[in-house]
Structure 1
Amino acid sequence: MDRSEESGAGSEPDAGLSAIMGERGQLINVAYRLLGSLADAEDVVQEAYARWYAMTPPEREAIRSPGAWLTTVAGRICLNQLTSARARRETYVGEWLPEPLPDRAAGRPEVDPADRVTLDESVHMAFLVVLESMTPAERVAFVLHDVFRYPFNDVAAIVGRTPAACRQLASSARRRVRDSRAPATSAARRAGIVRDFKRAWERNDIDALIGLLDPEASAIADGGGAGALLRPVEGAERIVASMVRLEDRLRRLRILERTVNGQPGLIAQLDGATVSVYAFAFAGDRITRIWAVRNPDKLRSWTEEA
């Protein structure tokens, strides 16, 4: 890979230091899309850098593109984690959802810009959920090639398969994404639907809530074992009925509109702390999917004013 060349080498004690530190943001973005977890992505990047510095200076100097080397190492670590994650998630209590991300561009000055994930279409919750349905090799090949534009020769070095095989993996993954896409809804309309949903809940307008949901909508909650919904709820009326059953608990929460993974969403706060994050998928003027993340381990990016 020739995506990164050394820069400023003469002003740094380590000839590759400037180049590799400049790759941190790219590595975080790649690893988050591969793993669906910012915490895991940060661990992967830390491990990749640890392996870089475990080499001797001559070994590091022999590497023509430190950024390419780091991407290869991080990609292989992610591939291993994805493979082992499948076994771990079989014992996960309830549903597993990707870690939701706030709109860091809206004001998180304490966050290092190198640790910020770019909030484009490839981090929308609906997109990440589709990635979860892929095999580890499909996910790595698709994300690296289709999202980050790495050539298949480079992807093959990470996945451990031929470029032709990686091309087939990406093609299969592409079909999954294409088959999952719903008719487009404008950004303004998506925000309006979420706002209407929030207001209908605040007014206790059951009919309006049902009307905003597709008849075949589904709701999934990830509480890490502590969530109220351990299985998906299917159907608009059943979703609203489940909300009514939880009314006493939900009424104690403050519901706020926020950007979730680059899309209009909601958060729920209790005594100023974010306890739930809600992401949505849309088709036309209705909500087709609700993803509620309640696992505290996945809410660490959400501050009082997330």
Structure 2
Amino acid sequence: MDEQKFLANRFEANRGRLRSVAYRLLGSRSEAEDAVQEAWIRLSRSDTSGVDNFGGWLTTVVSRICLDMLRARGSRREDPLEIGDGKPAADNSESPEQEALFADQVGAALLVVLEKLTPAERIAFVLHDMFDLPFDEIASIVGRSPEATRQLASRARRRVHAADTAHDHDRKRRREVVDAFLAASRGGNFDALLAILDPDVVFRADQTAVALGGAAEIRGAAGVASTFVGRAQAAQPARIDGGMGLAVVIDGELRIVLALTIVDGGITGIEAIADRERLSRLELEILAN
């Protein structure tokens, strides 16, 4: 086997990990692939005869490439972050278990938080907290001392945890709004509905929901409150495509979903979805009452 083919085989054995590193660092599938490809180009031009830890060497190379890309991104004022579902593109070299673990560790919310870190903070946090690289190795990548690199990771960790706490608080508050809306609707409490609805709230329904007897559009808190007062008896709180709302399931079949837009503790929009095709595409989780 010639040397180039030998290097290619060793590189392919590490490709899955390198893509994971690059995706966590960049938050972009396409840029992660570019970084991994650039790592291969640099490998093919390098003398690795004295490299003892081949995987570690490649991780360092791709991390430096990602650091350069993050710095260039900042200078261009671009935002190539691909939110989507937070999952990397499928790769046959990774098992379903590895892909599931990856998706669990790198959700869209975390990528949004990481995007707010400086390039050096992001490198230090991801490589240490997600890949267990020692600070002396990371220090050589970011061009800092090991102690300064430790401080970078610590600062990044505090920002990530603070964002997680804020997200948890916001999710709890939105659930409280949904529960209050549901209780007021079921209980026929018009005033309580007015209190939870934004004065300029807009209700919209798709054609299937309208055919069931609803209005296509209602504007204003009074009109929306009148529509829902004394109703929603069969509705259940639900998480809908990452947001909050209500779902009506009858005899095991999802009949209608009310997707709620909640801003500053008030409901500003309600969308009634009853079309079966649209319902089938929703990411829905029924929550306990």
Q: Is the structural similarity TM-score above 0.5?
A: yes
Q: Are the structure 2 counterparts of residues 198 and 39 from structure 1 closer, same or farther at C-alpha, using a change threshold of 3 Å?
A: farther
For residue 139 of structure 1, what is the aligned residue in structure 2?
Answer: 122
In the alignment, structure 2 segments of 5+ residues that lack a partner are 176-236, 249-253
Percent of residue pairs bearing the same amino acid type: 37
Q: Is the 8 Å Cα contact of residues 36 and 99 (structure 1) preserved in structure 2?
A: no
Q: Are the structure 2 counterparts of residues 102 and 68 from structure 1 closer, same or farther at C-alpha, using a change threshold of 3 Å?
A: closer
- TM norm structure 1: 0.56
Which amino acid in 1 is paired with 2:121? E
- Say if 2:281 is the partner of 1:254: no
Paired with 1:61 and 1:202, the residues of 2 have a C-alpha distance of 65
For residue 23 of structure 1, give the secondary structure of its aligned residue in structure 2: helix
Cα RMSD (Å)? 4.1
Q: Is the 8 Å Cα contact of residues 15 and 61 (structure 1) preserved in structure 2?
A: no
Which amino acid in 2 is paired with 1:177? V
Which amino acid in 2 is paired with 1:42? E
For residue 93 of structure 2, what is the aligned residue in structure 1?
Answer: 113
TM-fit CA distance, 1:97: 5.0
Which amino acid in 2 is paired with 1:98? I
For residue 86 of structure 1, what is the aligned residue in structure 2?
Answer: 74
Paired with 1:103 and 1:257, the residues of 2 have a C-alpha distance of 20
For residue 240 of structure 2, what is the aligned residue in structure 1?
Answer: 194
Question: Which runs of structure 2 are paired with 1:159-238 in the superposition (5 Å)?
Answer: 159-182=142-165, 183=168, 192-194=238-240, 197=245, 199=247, 203=256, 205=258, 209-210=259-260, 215-216=263-264, 237-238=267-268
Q: Which has the higher relative contact order, 1 or 2, with Cα contacts under 8 A spaced 6 or more apart?
A: 1
Q: Is the 8 Å Cα contact of residues 45 and 74 (structure 1) preserved in structure 2?
A: yes
Q: Are the structure 2 counterparts of residues 99 and 155 from structure 1 closer, same or farther at C-alpha, using a change threshold of 3 Å?
A: farther
Paired with 1:42 and 1:103, the residues of 2 have a C-alpha distance of 10
- Say if 2:86 is the partner of 1:98: no
- TM norm structure 2: 0.59
Larger proportion of helix: 2
- Select which of 102, 114, 128 maps to 2:111: 128
Of structures 1 and 2, the larger Rg is shown by 2
Q: Are the structure 2 counterparts of residues 47 and 113 from structure 1 closer, same or farther at C-alpha, using a change threshold of 3 Å?
A: same
Paired with 2:75 and 2:266, the residues of 1 have a C-alpha distance of 32
Q: Is the 8 Å Cα contact of residues 35 and 78 (structure 1) preserved in structure 2?
A: yes
TM-fit CA distance, 1:96: 5.5
- Deviations along 1:204-239, one digit per CA (max 9) or x if unpaired, are 74xxx33xx6553xxxxxxxxxxxxxxxxxx6534x
In the alignment, structure 1 segments of 5+ residues that lack a partner are 1-9, 217-234, 259-264, 267-279, 286-306
